[in-house]
Amino acid sequence: MRRLAKLWQRGKDFLGVEIPIMAGAMTWISDHRLVTTVCNHGAFGCMAGGNMPPEAFSQEIDKIKRLTDKPFAVNLITIAPNYQEHLRIAATKQVPFIIFAGSIPKGSEIKIAKDSGARVLAFASNESIAERMLASGVDALILEGSEAGGHIGHVSLIILLQQVLFTIQDKPVFVAGGIATGKLMAHLLLMGAAGIQMGTRFVMTEECQVHPKFKEAFIKAKARDAVATPAVGSELNVVAVRAIQPGFIISGDEIKFPAIER
């Protein structure tokens, strides 16, 4: 335990928590209930902004502040239509941590976040983005491999560890992508990670409010069922997403889905 305490001390100090495990922001899942439950149990909750209506976004922040006095983050999707309004609200409400995701934030946007008093993190899915984000003044990185759920990059975590984690000494680096066990967390801390982020694993908790059938889909799925959309074909032209393959059929210009049990 003494060795573990030393390994994750940097992450604890940066986030201001007992356990530097981040519950990744998942749109319409990481709401005030999940965030505050995670925070009040000693870890670090991240609220998902997604493209939430600004009024609802503001209310979610207020609910979190009423239910916990622990540090938390708001995750802002830079390509969402409501992004600029989300950033303004988060800065005005002096959210303690702001995480930029989805694409590369402008330097002026990072400045708005930092001027509000927030500590700023940004995702990096490859080496060049990591370098650019650090040069833009972020306080820490979340290094996310292609093994992660949701929107992803194209470089695996095992490569990013060698290209980025092993080379950065002056800023905390948190890592994400396919992490689900304490044993792997310990190994990542030994490699120099300040802490880790998990998403899907938190979906499966009793405290997560998603529909039981949503959780059941994960329980039944095999590792090979989790695919990235580029593997489907050029017909599905979206930002890369890793999801459970639903068994859809591409026919000409149409994407047909089988009936899904509700």
Read off the pLDDT of residues 6-39 as tens digits, 9 standing for 90 and up.
899 999 999 999 999 999 999 989 999 999 999 9
Interhelix angle 107-115/83-92, rounded to 10 degrees, is 20
Region 205-211 average pLDDT:
91
- Residue 262 in any domain: the answer is no
* Structural domain span for residue 239: 221-256
- Residue 215 in any domain: the answer is no
- Residue 69 in any domain: the answer is yes
Lowest mean pLDDT among 30-39, 127-136, 165-174, 201-210: 201-210
Region 212-220 average pLDDT:
89
- Residue 102 in any domain: the answer is yes
- Residue 173 in any domain: the answer is yes
**Nearest-CA neighbor of 114 among 93, 89, 139?**
139
- Residue 56 in any domain: the answer is yes
Domains in the chain: how many in total?
Answer: 2
Q: Which residue has the higher pLDDT, 213 or 229?
A: 213
Q: Which residue has the higher pLDDT, 229 or 154?
A: 154
* pLDDT value for 227: 85
* pLDDT value for 247: 59
* pLDDT value for 4: 78
